[in-house]
Chain A
């Protein structure tokens, strides 16, 4: 699960092992804080539920239930990074899920055509938002609020006659409910899951070693050897543990695979490519970006277009999970996605926020729901507690930023 690429070249050399670790923690307090918070939440729920929370079945369900919010949170991160907001994504997801259901069950289109069509519709819807914001100059809040109402109406319209539309396509339904085939069981564990986990660990270790070699080649500062090994062992252990948990139930679900692919793609896009850098430049200072030759309009289109595509993906995941499209699908998804992004450390002032952070934010919020459901906490308290956590995360964010500034 951990996709963190750590930038800790600034950490001073010298001093003992613990001193170095402390200074690492200090520099990256906001980032590590989120992981620590997730760990604490999981630990507390595990204790309170006698281990039920960390059971294979629960974790597997939790991740599957996070999928359709997590992909929205990834797109929302970029929208907030460029100082905008998109309120239309919830009902857009609901509407496009319904269109997918109609294409599959009423027009009998195959899955391999339906999915690209839906994603394309999503991109077009996103570009319309981009047009209103970048070219017409309407505040994103208003433009996407209008979009939200329109999509809601459209969703009601297409489900008006039939009510809930059931999807009977097994391939499509597998996206939200199926698992990577186990091939065979090894001591009650899914072999495919174990293989995927092992490959992930090997790729992770190799890429870290390559990074380090490269830095040494350029004579840049790197963390000391012992810290480096500790980090490798620690992250590998986490991947191994999650793999072990998932392998004990049905293995790795297709939802988790899709979520991982989206996160990995967007993580690399935002941290390693020119396009990603330009997105953060526009968020950091739009005027300076413009005067640096960056096409601010184009970036705005790209970010809203990507948001539209991910809304469509979210709609597909949700429809497939429920095996049906309902007139209320997508309700409040946008707020869950925004909350996940803020818990994950994006800043409304622009230019700050990581895709990986938002995924962790989404998992934190989902863990809270899941844990409280297991404990039988009433829905009224659930909302209040999740609201409190959101406020706490942002308060923590503001405090650590102030200290550094």
Chain B
């Protein structure tokens, strides 16, 4: 007799105009690690939101049986009471509160109506020990790295007597070391009888940790794979995810003719007065026409800060050194000046500072170059729809029309809107910061193809990426950054994962 802790039966969920889930069935056995994989927009997050009560009972159809009982959650607190805790990709911690306050936030240890802080600290220490996090419980969360913050989230979940722990892309923001630690921790929690559902795009992780993996595609359950039967392999998962075999994750580029230097930094140093330190030190780099230059490095190595210091310096760093665009020295005081010189920056945080989520697709695509569809300050709305429709088709943005709100799109499609926005500007140099973070394999392939297409049109690309496979698969040349410095430069022929990691940890 199978002991299922969770059965979701025939779950369907509709948003206005979009059927997000169709008849999804999903079963998780007690004490296993069950991975949920699928392309972006396949319905993974929606399914987990149904499970955790974010979408309350009645807004979906189908049954949820948890711990032997049918459950009708009307809010997140209902599901927490039942023992289901979900940890989102974007961590939900209070940065200005201490670790122990965070762990017991919303679940305060009380004695006769007052919070018992001493007891809280003691208990928090116990939880931290469980997740093997060796920090003082009184440390402020903002002083911890992302990896440790992730562990605080898990400690918080454990403090609530969790039976089923759901992790949404837990390693997306972590470096390899922290990721490995996290996976190890999940294995140990499994020994303690905690069931775990993990949503992940990193198939290597899935293979390393999953007992079972369920594949969703287009809002339907495709299959559940069993590790014990040797079914969980990269090829099998990808095949089910995209419904086709992908020969190569990285599309090949044939023309590798590089032209003149389009962009160059000489002894470039950026000092952040708020943090009181250099975020980039003595950086020398260049990009040639038609070249994809990868910038590898660990989280926090200063890559995003370097990009921002180039792109009009929105954070107000103090800059030193020389920047050359097509051989001519330039200084930018505002992103608009960088854009005018043909530099574009696609941010790593598309929801936070990349897109206008409450506006529609056409609005977003023309946002950085509105004058192109305006005569004398007046917007030609019809022309705007025409050009945005062109990018919608060219980039294969999946939406009913260009008047769809961007906040309603899946991550991959949002990223395509970001790309469309900058393609409409027509830059010479495109800086892509984590271009495929949180995006599924199919959409990744599309984005790589777009990058190659742009290169063949004579553009140059700087690609900042934490995924070594991507760096190696797409770049023509690789710079490695560590602690704000360029620690290595590698031609693609001589680059491999070990060498990059060596430079990154210098």
Contact = CB atoms under 8 A, between A and B. Distances in A.
B352 interface: yes
B356 A288 contact: yes
A280 to B, nearest CB: 8
B91 interface: no
Give the interface centre of A214, A285, A290, A294 by most chain B CB atoms within 10 Å.
A285
B208 interface: no
Q: Interface of chain B, helix or strand or loop or mixed?
A: mixed
Given A218-B382, A220-B385, A281-B356, A292 B374 contact: no
Interface string A329-360: 00000000000000000000001100000000
Q: Interface of chain A, helix or strand or loop or mixed?
A: helix
B48 interface: no
B100 to A, nearest CB: 31
A135 interface: no
Interface residues on B, range: 35 or more
A374 interface: no
B345 A291 contact: yes
A13 interface: no
Given A215-B382, A218-B385, A277 B358 contact: no
Contacts of B179: none
Contacts of A136: none
B368 A293 contact: yes
Given A10-B401, A284-B359, A273 B378 contact: yes
B96 interface: no
Contacts of B385: 9, 218, 220
Contacts of A351: 356, 358-359
Contact of B334 (A218, A275, A295): A295
A290 B359 contact: no
A161 interface: no
B436 to A, nearest CB: 19
A160 interface: no
Contacts, number: 86
A274 interface: yes
B257 to A, nearest CB: 31
Interface in B377-419: 377-379, 381-382, 385-386, 401, 403, 407
B237 interface: no
A170 interface: no
B352 A287 contact: yes
B336 A273 contact: no
A278 B370 contact: yes
B347 A291 contact: yes
B28 interface: no
Contacts of B378: 272-274
B346 to A, nearest CB: 9
B358 A288 contact: no
A272 B379 contact: yes
Contacts of A405: 407
Contacts of A277: 363, 367, 370, 379
Contacts of A289: 356, 367
A277 B379 CA distance: 9
Interface in A279-307: 280-281, 284-285, 287-295
Contacts of A295: 334, 336
B367 A220 contact: no
B353 A287 contact: yes
Give the interface centre of B16, B356, B401 by most chain A CB atoms within 10 Å.
B356
B401 A291 contact: no
Give the interface centre of B311, B353, B354, B407 by most chain A CB atoms within 10 Å.
B353
Contacts of B334: 293, 295
A317 B368 CA distance: 39
Contacts of A273: 374, 377-379
B352 to A, nearest CB: 7
Contacts of A280: 359
A285 B368 CA distance: 13
Contacts of A293: 312, 334-336, 338-340, 368
A203 B353 CA distance: 41
Contacts of A292: 335, 367-368, 421
Nearest to B382: A218
B382 A214 contact: yes
B327 interface: no
B223 to A, nearest CB: 32
- Sorted nearest first, the 7 A-B pairs with minimum C-beta distance are A293-B336, A287-B353, A284-B356, A292-B368, A293-B339, A218-B382, A292-B367
Given A285-B353, A288-B367, 11 more contacts: A218-B386, A273-B378, A273-B379, A284-B357, A284-B359, A290-B353, A292-B421, A293-B312, A293-B339, A351-B356, A351-B358
19 contacts: A9-B385, A10-B401, A215-B382, A220-B385, A272-B381, A277-B367, A284-B357, A284-B358, A284-B359, A287-B352, A288-B354, A288-B367, A289-B356, A291-B345, A291-B353, A293-B334, A294-B336, A295-B334, A351-B358
